[in-house]
């Protein structure tokens, strides 16, 4: 078997499935940057700018990994948005099952810091799973679910997250909460609050238009939005096999 693989590689006949396997990804997974490098990535769980305040298990690199078909559909969404000088920005893509387990353990550790409460100002973190804001079995682990937002390429997106700054909670006006370099969707990313529900009545007309634009653009490529999170979209196959390989840097 090894001889066949080597000969095929030398002949330049390695199949896409095998080639991806050699990069450390299962055959139907791919790095999004290899499919569309114009899509902005801000993979939050690979750093400290997230609700846990640290890198989450399995995120060894800030890379968006998706099923290839999902990536191609995101590329089609990006092409449509580019005509309006907009871009997608990815916050999370494939999520290793070990990361989900890490989130579960975090929710049960009996501690809650002020920085953590910025993400769930109205609820205790121990209740986030019961309320449906975090799942014990995530569609992200199948490679068919993504978290994302929109970026206005003509706007000033230069504000950067400062871990030493005491930001307001995720439901506050955009100037007071942690910067995300994106359009104002009414809440920050990963905001566990009713205001983050996609059709929340407490947001402004402009924020509602941005959310509607994102939902419509994603729906045209077969993505379904999760009603409690304006940023979360999945393909119907998101209920498939969950994976647990760590996310490494694209070669």
What sign results for the dihedral spanned by CA atoms 16, 19, 21, 24? negative
pLDDT of residue 18: 34
Question: What is the per-residue DSSP string for 47-72?
Answer: SSSSTTSSPPTTB-S---EEEHHHHH
Binding-site residue set for Zn(2+): 140, 147, 232
Split into its structural domains, the chain has a count of: 1
- Identify whether 174 is part of a domain: yes
The pLDDT value given to residue 66: 97
For residue 11, tell me if it sits in a domain: no
Report the CATH number at residue 106: 3.30.1380.10
Neighbours of 98 (CB within 10 A): 16
Residue 248 inside a domain? The answer is: no
Residue at 251 is within a domain: no
Instruction: Tell me if 72 is assigned to some domain.
Output: yes
Contact call for residues 155 and 168 (beta carbons, < 8 A): no
108-130: per-residue pLDDT in tens?
888 988 889 999 998 888 888 78
Q: Which residues are catalytic?
A: 229
Regarding pTM above 0.85, the answer is yes
Greater confidence (131 vs 92) lies with 92
Q: Could you list the residue range(s) of the whole structural domain that residue 65 is in?
A: 26-239
Query: Per the domain annotation, does 123 fall within a domain?
Result: yes
- Residue 223 domain-assigned? yes
**How far, in Å, CA of 161 to CA of 122, rounded?**
23
- Let me know if residue 166 belongs to a domain: yes
């Amino acid at each position: 078997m090894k001889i066949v693989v080597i000969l095929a590689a030398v002949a330049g006949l390695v199949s896409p499935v095998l080639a991806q396997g050699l990069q450390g990804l299962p055959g139907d997974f791919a790095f999004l940057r290899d499919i569309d490098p114009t899509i902005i990535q801000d993979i939050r769980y690979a750093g400290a700018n997230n609700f846990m305040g640290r890198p989450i298990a399995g995120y060894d690199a800030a890379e968006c990994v998706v099923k290839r078909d999902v990536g191609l559909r995101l590329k089609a969404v990006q092409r449509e948005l580019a005509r309006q000088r907009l871009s997608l920005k990815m916050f999370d893509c494939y999520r290793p099952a070990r990361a989900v387990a890490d989130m579960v353990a975090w929710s049960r550790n009996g501690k809650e810091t002020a920085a953590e409460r910025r993400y769930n100002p109205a609820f205790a973190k121990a209740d986030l799973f019961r309320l449906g804001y975090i799942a014990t079995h995530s569609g992200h682990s199948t490679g068919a679910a993504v978290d994302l937002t929109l970026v206005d390429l003509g706007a000033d997106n230069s504000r950067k997250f400062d871990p030493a700054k005491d930001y307001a909670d995720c439901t506050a006006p955009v100037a007071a909460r942690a910067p995300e370099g994106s359009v104002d969707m009414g809440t920050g990313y990963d905001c566990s609050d009713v205001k983050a529900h996609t059709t929340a009545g407490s947001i402004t007309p402009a924020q509602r238009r941005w959310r509607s634009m994102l939902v419509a653009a994603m729906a045209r490529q077969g993505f379904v939005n999760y009603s409690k999170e304006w940023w979360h979209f999945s393909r119907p196959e998101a209920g498939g096999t969950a994976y647990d390989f760590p996310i490494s840097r694209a070669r």
